[in-house]
Amino acid sequence: MQRMLMAFSACFLLVLLQIFSASLFSLAQDQSGFISLDCGSPKGTTFREKTTNLTYISDANFINTGIGRSIKQAYRTQFQQQTWNLRSFPQGIRNCYTLNLTIGDEYLIRTNFLHGGYDDKPSTEFELHLGPNLWTKVSTTNENQTSIFEMIHLLTTDRLQICLVKTGDSTPFISALELRKLMNTTYLTQQGSLQNFIRADVGSTTNQTFRYGIDVFDRVWIPFNFGNWSQISTNQTVNVNNDYQPPEIVMATASVPTDPDEPMNITLVGVERTVRFYVFMHFAEIQELSSNETREFNIVYNDKHIYGPFRPLNFTTTSVFTPTEVVADANGQYIFSIQRTGNSTLPPLLNAMEVYMVNLLSQQETERKEVDAMMNIKSSYGVNKIDWEGDPCVPRDYRWSGVNCTDIDNEIPKIISLNLSSSGLTGELLEYISDLTNLEVLDLSNNSLTGSVPEFLANMETLKVINLSGNELNGSIPATLLDKAQRGSISLSIEGNTGLCSSASCVKKKKKTVIAPVAASLVSVFLIAAGIVTFLILKRRKKRAKLGFNPNLGTGTTPLHSTSHHGYESPVIAKNRKLTYIDVVKMTNNFERVLGRGGFGVVYYGVLDNEPVAVKMLTESTALGYKQFKAEVELLLRVHHKDLTCLVGYCEEGEKMSLIYEFMANGDLKEHLSGKRGPSVLTWEGRLRIAAESAQGLEYLHNGCKPQIVHRDIKTTNILLNEKFQAKLADFGLSRSFPLGTETHVSTVVAGTPGYLDPEYYRTNWLTEKSDVFSFGVVLLELVTNRPVIDQKRERPHIGEWVGLMLSRGDITSIVDPKLQGDFDPNTIWKVVETAMTCLNPSSSRRPTMTQVVMDLKECLNMEMARNMGTRMTDSTNDSSIEISMNFTTELNPGAR
């Protein structure tokens, strides 16, 4: 019984059950998102492995080091073909595979090691690294021992490096490297990545292991049973269509306690008490129960009631997981128990379970731009240094020779020194060097570099030492670089470059004779132009003074320390964006046409430079109103994105304040959902496009702006549509910028719209970007349901609670907007609802980022577009009707709560 882990933290999450689309299933069977490398095989090698039907290719295009070797012929009949070759690394300390992937994707990464007698030293010990972080230690004792390690990892960059590190006398090697793309909604963690501890087919009645062909994600399921458990099975179909999609053959069997009155206990022993785990269980009722039979149980961890009572669904998979890390109790124990309730006539059951150890991967990688620069320098100059593998800066013990980096805990490493002296470099000085934006010392001495000294060296602000001596450079040195050297702000060494001129005498006298009269002419022209401009400005001010205007509040400059009529500091604004009140009156034709009304004021139609605009007038001269006005102007002048409304100009003359936006011909999203814009109905594809575009705008505020910006008032009335129905976020009066530094939140007075307001923010006054995520989740539910956010007539007034209730009853049709008339892919409906409900998690730490939301919505949009174009892939084994299983999210709380 004490062979493995099953442990739970204080909360569980009942997974949103979702049908996979036929196209996604087909793609998985076609190995889309799979990378299968046969390590050490000759370049160009491709084969299809017989037992799994997986296609493997040579690893030669993913690594530049190592030697291809083969195992003994006698072992080829015992092991799969992808282990017949291996790549050995007799040279260097660290050797790395590099794969260019997509940031934000989640992969199952599997490594396979079989010595196979390729040399006479089968006893080996070395380290396996994921980027700069230790993954695990690899140890083999005999030549026919196979070691397999798995990691589930969410990519935080678009480059993945798998490194083998020599730690002693033995030679590192690897047989196969496999990557399997997973759903981004599964195996979520609060931090770190997940190392596989066990993936168990709990009710297996055979000793067979299942993987690809049975499991669409090529997870390996190992048969596992306890001695005091009995097995049950079914021949009926078991629905496995949730995000985890465990194999049906696994879910068609289960274990129950042999003594029906005994609990199912699972304990982990022999593990350090500091280890943290995530646990995933998969349940399905696989027996036909009579009317007087009930299977109901509670989940207990370390003697504490965690969840229940719970009844598995008939022949339908429910996946339960720990949303936070499982930790040991005070005694170092990890004990999980499934216990029948007093109402249950049947014992508990368990079909399958997965247990993963948390690997924090705490060492941050060097800034991507600097890594790219070093890679380009390495390849362009043909630098052949055996230790130039992996990350240039980290871990510190494996830092590239000639490279020095910042070494501050919890900060991204930056390259501050590059020494390539006497490295046999030829050619010109590469502009890639300028991408090392934190470089302080550059030593390229004693090489064979040619060409001139480039201007970019003078523009590198942090550079303090440049040593170019002993090369074959020629021409003149940039004047700005010479000036820095003469002022002592930079140390410049150029000795030994016979063709290089380092003084002002390099400039020919002939050029001087030309420069002098040209300069004199330019001065004359400048003085004449300045006089004309001064005359025009004075004449204009005189004219406007007659009209009673303060020139400091017009189109001229704003005084550095001026204040408005309200006594608040005026925003610092680009001059060409500021308009007069007379301009506003003219462009709106004396405020003739009202477009809408809001808390800020009234919005009017206008025309500026023959282009339609929307003019929003501030109606109340209050401190709050002015603060919002100022915030919106300053924000929109520094952020620019195609999915954010564009500020054309603004007016601030005493009490007269207005914002001038680009005109959005199709109003706001709420108007279209409510029917105020006429009888036409937004299609499901149109709604998905609007959701994706507005999500992109919000993602830009969160991740593309420095400092980060939180909108604070995301709602359907603040999503505007232009003439092409492109969506753009609007109304930034409540937006807040985060302070620069390490802060993850700001404490602020609560602001927002009821129904959209994050309850955690309302309760704590702590604002984070996840507050916007909650509001956007409400918007997604509005797009699906077209129901009010708050409706006191409903059984559950808030739209999120109401949708959760409907889903718990398995009632999908009742929540979808009937105006869509069934014209949608049900799978995309479920995906959007699932994303929305995750956004509405009461705990902000468990909500997705907007980057994850954007990816989910784009996936749904692509599926719906493909369906509408008639090119969507389908599973030929299914009929035209798609069975929708129950999908809902429920937090599993301790009984005391």
SS (H, E, C) 447-513: CEECCCCCCHHHHCCCCCEEECCCCCCEEECCHHHHHHHHHCCCEEECCCCCEEECCHHHCCHHHHH
Respond yes or no: is residue 713 known to be catalytic.
yes
Pairing type for strands 173-174 and 229-233 reads unpaired
Is 616 annotated to bind ligand? Answer: yes
C-alpha to C-alpha distance for 864 and 870, rounded to whole angstroms: 10
- Provide the 10 A C-beta neighbour count for residue 518: 10
CB 782 within 8 A of CB 789: yes
Burial track 579-595 (b if 16+ CB lie within 10 A, e otherwise): bbbebbeebbeeeeeee
Q: Which two tokens stand for residue 218?
A: 């090529």
CB 117 within 8 A of CB 71: yes
Interhelix angle 22-29/850-868, rounded to 10 degrees, is: 100
Q: Which two tokens stand for residue 868?
A: 């509408």
- Provide the 10 A C-beta neighbour count for residue 95: 24
Q: Which two tokens stand for residue 286?
A: 């696989």
User: 155 phi and psi, to 5 degrees?
Assistant: -70, 125
Handedness of CA 868, 870, 874, 880 (dihedral sign): positive
Alpha carbon 179 to chain centroid, angstroms = 19
CB 836 within 8 A of CB 857: no
- Provide the 10 A C-beta neighbour count for residue 783: 22
Secondary structure class of 336 (helix, strand, coil): strand
CB 256 within 8 A of CB 230: yes
Residue 318 pairs with which residues in a beta bridge? Answer: 283
Q: Number of C-alpha atoms within 13 angstroms, CB side, residue 616?
A: 26
CB 316 within 8 A of CB 307: no
C-alpha to C-alpha distance for 282 and 235, rounded to whole angstroms: 18
Could you say which of 713, 731, 758, 817 is catalytic? 713
Residue count (the chain): 897
- Provide the 10 A C-beta neighbour count for residue 422: 12
Known binding residues for ATP: 616
Instruction: List residues with catalytic annotation.
Output: 713
